[in-house]
Structure 1
């Protein structure tokens, strides 16, 4: 009997202990923790971590009204805790790391005074601690470009070093900056901001070495000089805008003649070039012509006109920074027959014809002279002529001389007449 009474009393006490923590158990899984931190940090500097309890996946879910019913529990070892504050449904701690490394920090929320109860939400973050200075190298220019790490040549660049020290750990330090701009230029300054102008295109790496020195009181009450360094870099791609396109080529040409036009681009490659012939000089629309990739600052385009008329080369070029248009007018005339083309052949033909006529004339004159000077052909020749020519040759020399005399009346007679006198 007594044993049954004590069993009932034990159950009642156990239920009475669980009743205050019932809301926390019901709320488990409905909330989550948002964690923020100002890490990374250098060794010795203070790091701040904040955790806030918010509704999970449902902004309309009401948060607990009584914030005193809940508590934040942190685990941060081996980091040293330097401060902790709680306000409403958020908690903030400050820790310091004396050795470099990546340190995990976890936090969870439970009902007040019940660390063994089921957590309403959990959070986890990793803090990177380094022995070097922490900061960023920022490069800016008045002309903003839509491409990352791309800047214009012959335009001033502002290069700044932004130290990351939210806890003001290095507020008494003296800094020295050593700059290397990657094009052979180096300088040392005491200012964290410099201005530089690149005159050539290309990809450059800006390197910066930062040295910080300050005095610190040691445990034995003596002062010592402390020093921290840091190396930073930024890659820059210097481009040059397309200031225009120089077109070198004829403005007047005949049909069926091959024309070559040279395009000189006043800007940095690589380029995308597109051109088309139009009746009027109008800008090219997107998709109006086939783009061509050009890896240099010069490009030759060729075309043969088949129809006469007035034309305009509409040219568009662009690089990663800008784009530009250019036009080139040209008049095409119909091809004509040029007299000079046929002058030499005609003169040659006439010369050949005149030479042939002179040759035939001289030949005939030579043959006639030979016939007069040699009336008696050789016997062999005569026999051959008689056998070959037959009736076409005369048989007697007298008849032959008579024919020669008739044909050459101007020649003197071959004999003189003799007069006879009677006494």
Structure 2
């Protein structure tokens, strides 16, 4: 073997060892619509652990291979990056490959190689986006998770990296999955789902091109609508014994599945972090937890409930007491004593009021036998003349005898001391001094 052949073998071995230090990474901006243009890029990068100084100090050539009828429109190349622009009128999943060699060495082995797949389709390419005001859009493997009774903005986002649809006119046919539908010329609309549940949303996109060609596309999504968490109610907060295990019942007004995190502390916690006890409720809104209070209160029961569309945190004050005599046995006697004293004071006040109402001023009457004298004096003739009308004197005398003792004692006292009798004609009494 000549020295030249030995040199070539040594050089080949060295270059083969060098090519193991690099890798070629390919990417593309597909999928693209038939007739539109797409871009494929190849980047030469060192493998982990290799020396990047050797990569930057040398020059390399990129080579491409594409499947028919995919055609290369243009290409560009830098020191470590090469890109090509392609297009096709036939829909297909195309394989695009590339490799790198040392520049100016046609017989040298490949330093790195790679491949990628580019999808060309007849349909309009885009994605659906759903957003609600004042809340971020969440996405899970099952679909979008949104809140009920909230305006939802549904948008179709066109993917057109080469601006192929710049002069096209669009029409959108919306099917919301709850029986309602709508047709618009704009790529977005608003809709409200009143009740929780799973809905299948889809939109039919129709694009009219300038050359009278049309492109269509159908895009859908599975929506999981849930009620927001409105409040959290915790029961069994009263009558809590220290050193006794207490069970709390948690009721959440919101749609499951739920995550409940609870924590007992001395005061209300503004943000409940990972230090709380976590529970997951896949299909229920009710749960119960148990806790043992070692010391006297006050305490705070912190609880946070969360579902896919909302979260809510609440704090509840708790007061504990030692086992033995319950504080109520001190409160009841005090309340009873106070009630008795109050009733006693009210009874005294009512008695005084009734006594004042029954008191009536009575005149000073003298009912003794000596009072006859005063009566006689009262009926004594006075100096003046008193006219008495009588039917007859005899009748007057007869009736005077029949007067009872009570009628004789008149209550009226006259200041005159003499009473005169008058006589006028037959049948009348005579008037003469007594």
Equivalent-residue separation in structure 2 for 1:55 and 1:34 (angstroms): 10
Check the 8 A contact 1:51/1:91 in 2, yes or no: yes
- Compare 156-165 and 71-80 and name the one that shifted more: 156-165
Check the 8 A contact 2:31/2:121 in 1, yes or no: yes
C-alpha RMSD of the superposition: 4.7
Match of residue 245, structure 1, among 232, 236, 243:
232
Query: What's the CA shift for 1:231?
Result: 0.9
1:19–1:170: structure 2 CA closer, same or farther, 3 Å change rule? farther
User: What are the Cα deviations for residues 367-401 of structure 1, in whole angstroms up to 9, with x where unaligned?
Assistant: xxxxxxxxxxxxxxxxxxxxxxxxxxxxxxxxxxx
Query: What's the CA shift for 1:167?
Result: 1.3
User: What are the Cα deviations for residues 217-261 of structure 1, in whole angstroms up to 9, with x where unaligned?
Assistant: xxxxxxxx11111111122322233221357899799xxxxxx99
Match of residue 29, structure 1, among 17, 20, 26:
20
Aligned residue number for residue 215 of structure 1: 210
Query: What's the CA shift for 1:23?
Result: 7.4
Aligned residue number for residue 397 of structure 1: none
Equivalent-residue separation in structure 2 for 1:273 and 1:215 (angstroms): 57
SS at match of 1:63: helix
- Compare 57-66 and 126-135 and name the one that shifted more: 57-66
What is the aligned residue count? Answer: 312
Equivalent-residue separation in structure 2 for 1:233 and 1:213 (angstroms): 21
Aligned residue number for residue 337 of structure 2: none
SS at match of 1:215: coil
1:24–1:92: structure 2 CA closer, same or farther, 3 Å change rule? farther
User: Are residue 144 (structure 1) and residue 136 (structure 2) matched?
Assistant: yes
Aligned residue number for residue 167 of structure 2: 172
Equivalent-residue separation in structure 2 for 1:290 and 1:312 (angstroms): 20
Check the 8 A contact 2:63/2:99 in 1, yes or no: yes
Equivalent-residue separation in structure 1 for 2:297 and 2:25 (angstroms): 71
User: What are the Cα deviations for residues 265-317 of structure 1, in whole angstroms up to 9, with x where unaligned?
Assistant: 33223445688999x88679978779584845567999xxxxxx999994736
How does 1:44-59 map onto structure 2 within 5 Å? 44-57=35-48, 58=50
Check the 8 A contact 1:272/1:291 in 2, yes or no: yes
Check the 8 A contact 1:281/1:327 in 2, yes or no: no
Aligned residue number for residue 399 of structure 1: none
1:252–1:56: structure 2 CA closer, same or farther, 3 Å change rule? closer
Equivalent-residue separation in structure 2 for 1:271 and 1:277 (angstroms): 20
Equivalent-residue separation in structure 1 for 2:17 and 2:288 (angstroms): 78
Check the 8 A contact 1:28/1:120 in 2, yes or no: yes
Query: What's the CA shift for 1:162?
Result: 1.5
Aligned residue number for residue 303 of structure 2: 316
How does 1:263-412 map onto structure 2 within 5 Å? 265-271=252-258, 291=279, 293=281, 295-296=283-284, 314=301, 316=303, 318-320=305-307, 321-325=310-314, 327=316
Equivalent-residue separation in structure 2 for 1:146 and 1:165 (angstroms): 25
Query: What's the CA shift for 1:180?
Result: 1.5
Equivalent-residue separation in structure 2 for 1:237 and 1:76 (angstroms): 43
Check the 8 A contact 2:230/2:254 in 1, yes or no: yes
Match of residue 63, structure 2, among 73, 84, 90:
73
Check the 8 A contact 2:92/2:119 in 1, yes or no: yes
Identify unmatched segments of 5+ residues in structure 1: 1-6, 217-224, 254-259, 303-308, 336-423
Query: What's the CA shift for 1:327?
Result: 3.7
User: Are residue 127 (structure 1) and residue 118 (structure 2) matched?
Assistant: yes
1:162–1:100: structure 2 CA closer, same or farther, 3 Å change rule? same
User: What are the Cα deviations for residues 302-341 of structure 1, in whole angstroms up to 9, with x where unaligned?
Assistant: 9xxxxxx999994736232313325487998869xxxxxx
Query: What's the CA shift for 1:210?
Result: 0.7
Query: What's the CA shift for 1:137?
Result: 1.0
Match of residue 228, structure 1, among 208, 215, 221:
215
Aligned residue number for residue 54 of structure 2: 62
1:243–1:71: structure 2 CA closer, same or farther, 3 Å change rule? same
* TM-score where L is the length of structure 2: 0.57
1:20–1:285: structure 2 CA closer, same or farther, 3 Å change rule? closer
Aligned residue number for residue 87 of structure 1: 78
1:119–1:270: structure 2 CA closer, same or farther, 3 Å change rule? closer
1:330–1:296: structure 2 CA closer, same or farther, 3 Å change rule? farther
Equivalent-residue separation in structure 2 for 1:301 and 1:35 (angstroms): 55
Equivalent-residue separation in structure 2 for 1:26 and 1:315 (angstroms): 64
Aligned residue number for residue 395 of structure 1: none
Query: What's the CA shift for 1:125?
Result: 0.8
Equivalent-residue separation in structure 2 for 1:162 and 1:245 (angstroms): 39
Check the 8 A contact 2:260/2:306 in 1, yes or no: no
Match of residue 163, structure 1, among 153, 158, 164:
158
Equivalent-residue separation in structure 2 for 1:203 and 1:138 (angstroms): 17
